[in-house]
Structure 1
Amino acid sequence: MRIGAHVRDDDPVAAAAALGAEVVQLFVTDPQAWARPTPHPRAQQLRESDLTVVVHSAYVINVASLNNRIRIPSRKAVVQQAEAAAELGAVGLVVHGGHVRAGEDEADGIANWRKLFERQADAGGFAVPILVENTAGGDNAMARQVDVIARLWDAIGDHGAGFVLDTCHAWAGGEALVDVVERVRAVTGRIDLVHLNSSRDAFDSGRDRHANLADGTIDPQVLAAVCAAADAPVVLETPSAGVAEDLAFLRTALGS
């Protein structure tokens, strides 16, 4: 099992080496803006490294939205950021499931996800696989509860979508972690990546606030068990001051 972390650093290869990480996740643009990605200064190093590289898309993206001013730039941003990810040799682009607004039909949001894949298929597909991540809050979210993820997968599963299981998001979204891997796999058939995070908040809080493994409200042994069951690459998105300790705990817990 390959284990690593999200880094916000101009030199992700060096940052990964300092942590002893085998996986590195990064942004290719400002996560809070619509800016088009620019060439990464360490692209060649990343491609030539032994790292498993993952790119996380910008947070502003909401493919499910029924608002044209959000959905249309979201589709464009996914395509652009997938292309930038391919330049780094990344294994995929992580995209949050998104949501529709109160009073809008969840089915329309799911249909918008399907249209994203259908439209891009006509253009030759995405440059890297799109990995949909479960989210923590919102009654109208596309990927908070497993039953909604099942409906989303009925629409996009045949289009090659991958799945990212975030433990903080599942916990905050009210999904018990003890068997979440089995329940997610039952509806998606896959887990391509684990975002391993504890939570600052209580179960089913709907709040997305990550904590280091020893400091959060989730039993660290339960988190390690999720990794073992998922048997997929692991990315820690915990506060940077404690990432090294989180990695050390996880390696010990998994015997790696």
Structure 2
Amino acid sequence: MHIGCHLTIAKGYKKAAELALEIGANVFQFFSRNPRGSTSKELDMEDIEEMERILKENDFGPLLAHAPYIINLGSYKGRIYGMAKGILKEDYERLNEISIPYFTFHPGNHVGKGPEYGVQRIIDALNEIITGNETTMLLLETMSGKGTELGRNFQEIRDIIDGVKYSELVGVCLDTCHIYSAGYDIVNDLDGVLGEFDDIIGLEKLKAIHLNDSMVEFDSGKDRHAKIGEGTIGLEAIKNIINHPNLKDLPFYLETPNELEGYKEEIELLRKLRG
């Protein structure tokens, strides 16, 4: 089972890998740059080589980079749209350079222009960014449906993928808290939800799971992560998710409200729940 959490790379990639080992993780997620700003650091290739050594020696699964929250590829405002494309393109190139397998991002917000408009803006941006020569896969994250968020349903995700020329380089990161808040009942009908995902998008496009419980009720449209077993999704449903035949071999990344010790406890718990 490949399970881990979100870790900072502020002190380097090697340090992040060492912290992952300390808490019993064998994957981790990190921000591609400052999550609420536009600054990024130069790559330290020696540090990255040290990280790669640790990953190889300890049978790590695929690392997942997360784009900063500030980007909005669905925006109608030229400056915001241009900045989002610039950041995603620059980070995508850097992540390819260091062979990070997956790069996930929040699709964006249409800000009142309507889902169809926003979806097309995202498609246009991705067709500018992806050249077809990359090895890193871009993953659209499933969203809770707050406000004018795009990616709140499987149809919108599918429409984006279908519109991208090099669609083989676009997949999905499914967030358990988000889809539960968006009205997909993974507690009482996990098989049905995954069947719907397969029919609309295709399970072969599902590459990663953000494993989170939820502070809010089903179909709330709100994004409030809870610790594993302490929310409305609950431990039994989480157990079913990590053991489901269509999900169990995917990498799981925790984004729960925890410090390192809390993540360590959650990872230990999830390993015990694994059938």
Whichever residue aligns with residue 208 of structure 1, its letter is D
Equivalent-residue separation in structure 1 for 2:163 and 2:214 (angstroms):
30
**What letter is aligned with 1:221?**
E
The aligned residue for residue 6 of structure 2 is 6
* Map of 1:98 onto structure 2: 108
Aligned to 1:143: 151
Matched, 1:171 2:184: no
In 2: Cα distance, 1:69 partner to 1:224 partner: 44
Q: Which residue of 2 aligns with 1:84?
A: 94
- Tell me, yes or no, if structure 1 residue 44 matches structure 2 residue 63: no
* Residue-by-residue CA offset, 1:121-180 (whole Å, 9 max, x unaligned): 4x5554621111011133532211223333333323852211000001111222211233
With 47-56 and 154-163 compared, the bigger mean Cα shift is at 154-163
Give the Cα–Cα distance (whole angstroms) in 1 for the partners of residues 156 and 137 of structure 2.
21
Q: 2:273 aligns with which of 241, 248, 253?
A: 253
State whether residues 29 and 64 of structure 2, in contact with CA within 8 Å, keep that contact through their aligned partners in structure 1: yes
Question: Matches of 1:238 and 1:157 in 2, distance apart?
Answer: 35
* Identical positions, percent: 26
2:214 aligns with: 199
Aligned to 1:226: 241
Residue type at the aligned position of 1:78: L
The match for 2:228 is 213
Among candidates 197, 200, 223, match of residue 184 of structure 1: 197
CA distance in 1, matches of 2:88, 2:40: 10
Written as runs of structure 1 = structure 2, the 5 A alignment for 1:121-136 is 121=130, 123=131, 125-126=133-134, 128-136=136-144
Question: C-alpha distance in 2, partners of 1:46/1:156?
Answer: 32
**Aligned-partner SS, 2:156:** helix
Pick closer, same or farther for the CA change 1:131–1:158 going to 2, 3 Å: same
Q: CA contact under 8 A between 1:26 and 1:54: conserved in structure 2? A: yes
Q: Distance in 2 between matches of 1:200 and 1:38?
A: 37
Match of 2:63, SS state, is strand
TM-score (norm: length of structure 1) = 0.89
- Given that residues 144 and 180 in structure 2 are in contact (C-alpha distance below 8 angstroms), is that contact kept between their aligned partners in structure 1? yes
Q: Moved runs in structure 1, 4+ residues, more than 6 A?
A: none
1:30 aligns with 2:34: yes
Give the whole-Å Cα distance in 1 for the aligned partners of 2:164 and 2:144. 21
1:51-66 equivalences under 5 Å are: 51=60, 52-66=62-76
Superposed CA deviations along residues 50-87 of structure 1, whole A, max 9, x for unmatched, are 33211111011111222112111111111111223234
**Letter matched to residue 211 of structure 2:** L
Q: 1:158 to 1:222 in 2, by over 3 A?
A: farther
Name the amino acid aligned to 1:238.
Answer: T
TM-superposed CA distance for 1:193, in Å, is 0.2
Report Cα offsets for 1:34-64 as digits up to 9, x if no partner. 2244325732222332332111110111112
> What is the Cα-based RMSD across aligned positions, in Å?
2.1
TM-score using structure 2 length: 0.84
Cα distance in structure 2, aligned partners of 1:157 and 1:210:
34
